[in-house]
Chains A and B, each alone.
Chain A
Amino acid sequence: MLKGVLDLAVLAVLDDRDGYGYDVVRRLREAGLTEVGDASVYGTLRRLFKAGALTSYVVASDEGPHRKYYGLNDAGRRQLASSAATWTSFAATMDSLLKEGPHD
């Protein structure tokens, strides 16, 4: 996965709704990133949190362990918007490159 793309994917998932670590992994896989590594997602969450893009809070759970939820704060939403713009333009460039190219 390209550098920074997992960040964007995680931010996008959390923008949808807050989630705890394994929940984020599951939602990314359900979205089609089936091979995304658990440790990669967990490490990315911790890094984004350290960078100040996420808030976190603990929710008590009756049946399992306590869950630390992550959600976007303003900085996270700004990062998502700018990364999404970069990605969209990058994807558009790649699309047109592939359409113009001699191979399909």
Chain B
Amino acid sequence: MTDHDAYARAVREALARHPEREELLEDLDDHLAEIAAESDASLEDRLGPPDAYAEELRAAYAGRPEAVSGRRRPREMAAGFVARVRRHSLYGGATGFLRELRPGWWVLRGYALGMAALALNPGPAAEGPGLVPGGAVEILVVAVAVAASVWLGRRRGGWPALSLAVAANAAAAVALLAGMLAGAAPVPEQAFSPTPQSVRPDVVLVGSGSPFAAAVTNIRLYKDGKALVGVDVYDQDGRPLVLSPEEHGLEIDPACGDVIRNRYPLPLVTAEEAEARRLRELEGGKSDVVPAPSACATSEPR
């Protein structure tokens, strides 16, 4: 929050659902500009976080002035702490990232609730709930649920929408948990393409033809088109899902040190490259060894 425009915008957003918003905020910009012009300190330093400012404004406009005392109230101290945390770059990065993930959650939430609704009301043709909607009606139900969830997510402020969103999130979490438990239960054998018993149990791509050709050497995770890194993956029984890239000519990048084997994506390099790196390390010392372009799992997504 560097200037009074951004601060004013945040206050407006916090009061988006206020019935007399325009009247209340009519000279907010001029007012904040006045305060900003008086000192170099940021508005957030001087006025606290915009949310708290908006709440105080709402209270005063409703005729419920905030208590005033000679001491800093715990709430103000908390607000100050929150403001400091918010200004920290890590917080900005984390919340920015979470904000980018939000639309994905909205879609997943709608999908989960739609599928849960279908599971609770199986139609005559339904063979029980699956992971994907079957007939046209099911697709329509899920599409409507997703649209409603996204619509709800895009709405801002106001307690009715907020409480509805909280309820939807809780219901979706329950639905997802139930779905995962159902997914962990034994499933009919025809759900998977038959795997020859002679092949050691490995992760294969289902439905891509020969299980030999479709060996999985690494797992890349994406959320809303953004690559996720450092994600720990487990199977249905909570066992670490570990692949065997070594059987396919790939190795963990030696420059990455100790790598957790179920943390994906793995920083893989070809066996030749790994050997070359080890040689270089022997010759030039550790300081010269840099991670391969594959990057170690702990680095930022590129």
Contacts and interface: CB of A to CB of B under 8 A. Distances in A.
**Size band of the interface chain A makes with B:** 20 to 34
Most buried by A among B23, B28, B66: B66
Contacts of B63: 3-4, 7, 47
The 7 lowest CB-CB distance pairs between A and B, nearest first, are A43-B60, A39-B56, A1-B68, A43-B61, A39-B57, A6-B65, A65-B33
Interface residues of B, number: 33
B60 A64 contact: no
Nearest to B34: A22
A5 B47 contact: no
Interface string B8-38: 0000000000001001101111110111011
Given A65-B34, A65-B37, A39 B68 contact: no
B38 A22 contact: yes
Interface of B: 20, 23-24, 26-31, 33-35, 37-38, 46-47, 53-54, 56-70
9 contacts: A21-B34, A22-B38, A33-B68, A35-B68, A35-B69, A37-B68, A42-B31, A42-B57, A44-B61
A15 B81 CA distance: 38
A46 interface: yes
Given A21-B27, A40-B65, A6 B60 contact: yes
Contacts of B47: 38-39
Contact of A39 (B20, B38, B54, B67): B54
B30 A66 contact: yes
A50 interface: yes
A5 B66 CA distance: 11
B35 A38 contact: yes
